[in-house]
Amino acid sequence: MSTPIYLSAREAAAELGVQPATLYAYVSRGLIASVAGPGKKRRYDAADVRRLKGRRQVEDHTGAKPLTGDPVLETELTLISEEGPVYRGRLARELAETSTLETVATLLWASGDDPFANNIPKPPPVLPAGLGALDRLMMALAAWPLQDKAAYTLAPKLLQAKGAALLRYSVAALLGKEPVAVPIHTQIASAFGVSASAKNLIRAALVLCADHELNTSSFTARCAASTRAPLHAALLSGLGAFAGPRHGAAPDRATAWLAEIQPDTDIEALLADRLARGETLPGFGHSVYQGRDPRADCLLDILFRTESGHPFVERLPGLISSADDLFGLPPNIDLALAVIQKTYELPRDAGKIIFCAGRMTGWIAHALEQYASHEKIRPRAAYVGERPE
């Protein structure tokens, strides 16, 4: 067996013709293996580098580009690592232990001052009864110019304060309440009428959901911002992508099958029946992480520490073990949100509301970063249809 050859970061990046940040993104996605090198530097598997280089050359030659996997633009906001998201150099799992969403927003937005200070927007307009949380938010964002005469500003010195006001306004719309000058996790916990332990889980979940690099909704928000659409329109664009069952509504799918679990339910038999019917197991597996979703592990760990005597929480390790045995997949953030909703008997759509409130922080960060760029995002398609004779 030949001895593996390893390259320095500079050599690997030069071989691929990319910036070091892009090389690190390849590593975080499991495309290139890295090992500890001299000092604190890491070394990169030359075989993986050349394999990826060959793949990229084929793609360049054929014009075919994958829709997922490869970096398409540079960002200073979030790195997806084996330990989960890293927000501007800070590991999200560590921030989730004590930080608030407002603290993380200030970090991601690179705010010098506190953009939330003395910044309480007017309430959303009265909306039609019967709307779901995301639909309320869509209508409220569309009505934002009625609340703010400077809604269309792109002045850098105003945008962070606009972002803070929009975040508070949006959380109020999601909850059907009025904006208040209290931490967002406190407002959500109050609206749900839950205990202090549930409030702490909501706080941690908001932090862990704040950003996840170029997920579909964040990329959509960036595309809108690249056209110089105003901030509320960029958020509305991100929200449209978020609303789908393969993204922001995914916790609902996990919540639906978890609702079948009663105190006397045979969980292994329940999962085996799903497998036999060819059904998927929402809340397990992730397209980005090669192994476990560290965000889910973090939330579940806090839950186990907090609610060790809860009957449903006591059954969770067995549920997760059965899912691994039958489906070969670990839990993801959607399962963790659904579990929190079931454990504390939160209202309908609670997991989705928490997810959306947290992720809006990231949409604002991506929009602000994109406004600072001169580039308009305009990818090309690989045409495979008929051509004229």
Q: If we measure between CA atoms, which residue out of 178, 180, 162, 164 comes closest to residue 126?
A: 178
Name residues whose C-beta falls within 8 Å of residue 173's C-beta, 6 or more positions apart in sequence: 124, 127, 136, 137, 139, 140, 141
- Among 45, 293, 334, 349, the active-site one is 334
Tell me the C-alpha to C-alpha distance, in Å, between residue 246 and each of 16, 47, 282. 32, 34, 10
Which domains are present in the chain?
A: 6-62 (1.10.1660.10), 95-389 (1.10.580.10)
Using only C-alpha atoms, the chain has a radius of gyration, in whole angstroms, of 22
Q: In this predicted structure, what is the pLDDT of residue 383? A: 77
Nearest-5° angle of CA 39, CA 43, CA 49? Answer: 165
- If one counts every other C-beta atom within 10 angstroms of the C-beta of residue 44, the result is 25
Cα-based distances in Å from 301 to 73, 81, 96, 338: 34, 19, 12, 15
In terms of Cα–Cα distance, which of 95, 100, 102, 85 is closest to 295?
A: 85
The backbone torsions φ and ψ at residue 287, rounded to the nearest 5 degrees and listed phi first, read -75, -15
- What six digits make up the tokens of 161? 């304060």
Nearest Cα residue to 296 out of 190, 205, 176: 205
Contact 332, 296 (CB under 8 A): yes
**Exposed / middle / buried, residue 175 (Cβ in 10 Å: 0-12, 13-18, 19+):** buried
The pLDDT, as a whole number, for residue 57 is 58
Q: Mind listing the pLDDT tens digit of every residue in the chain (389 residues)?
A: 457 788 988 888 888 888 888 888 888 777 898 888 887 788 998 888 888 887 665 455 444 444 455 667 889 999 998 899 999 999 999 999 999 999 999 999 998 889 999 899 999 999 999 999 999 999 999 999 999 999 999 999 999 999 999 999 999 999 999 999 999 999 999 999 999 999 999 999 999 999 999 999 999 999 999 999 999 999 999 999 999 998 999 999 999 999 999 999 999 999 999 999 999 999 999 888 878 999 999 999 999 999 999 999 999 999 999 999 999 999 999 999 999 999 999 999 999 999 999 999 999 999 999 999 988 998 877 777 888 87
SS3 letters across 23-68:
HHHHHHCCCCCEEECCCCCEEEEHHHHHHHHHHHHHHHHHCCCCCC
Q: How far is CA 283 from CA 52, 216, 239, in A?
A: 30, 18, 21
Q: What is residue 388's predicted lDDT score, i.e. its pLDDT?
A: 86
Helices 231-242 and 216-226 pack at an angle, to 10 degrees, of 150
- The yes-or-no answer on residue 232 being catalytic is no
CB 52 within 8 A of CB 30: no
User: What pLDDT shows up at residue 294?
Assistant: 95
Name the residue with tokens 């045409």. Answer: 383
108-119: buried (b, 16+ CB within 10 Å) or exposed (e) per residue? Answer: bbebeeebbeeb
Residues in the chain: 389
Instruction: Give the dihedral of Cα atoms 368, 373, 375, 381; nearest 10 deg.
Output: -50
C-alpha 352, offset from chain centre: 12
pLDDT (0 to 100) of residue 53 = 80
Catalytic residue at 297? Answer: no
Show the beta-strand stretches assigned E in 132-194: none
3-state secondary structure of 211: coil
pLDDT at res. 1: 45
Cα gap 21→24, rounded to integer Å: 5
Q: How far apart are CA 21 and CA 78, in angstroms?
A: 11
Q: Are 172 and 163 in contact (CB under 8 A)?
A: no
Catalytic residue among 70, 286, 301, 310: 286
Predicted TM-score (pTM) of this structure: 0.82
Tell me how crowded residue 292 is: count the other CB atoms within 10 A of its CB: 15
Residue position matching structure tokens 């290139």: 32
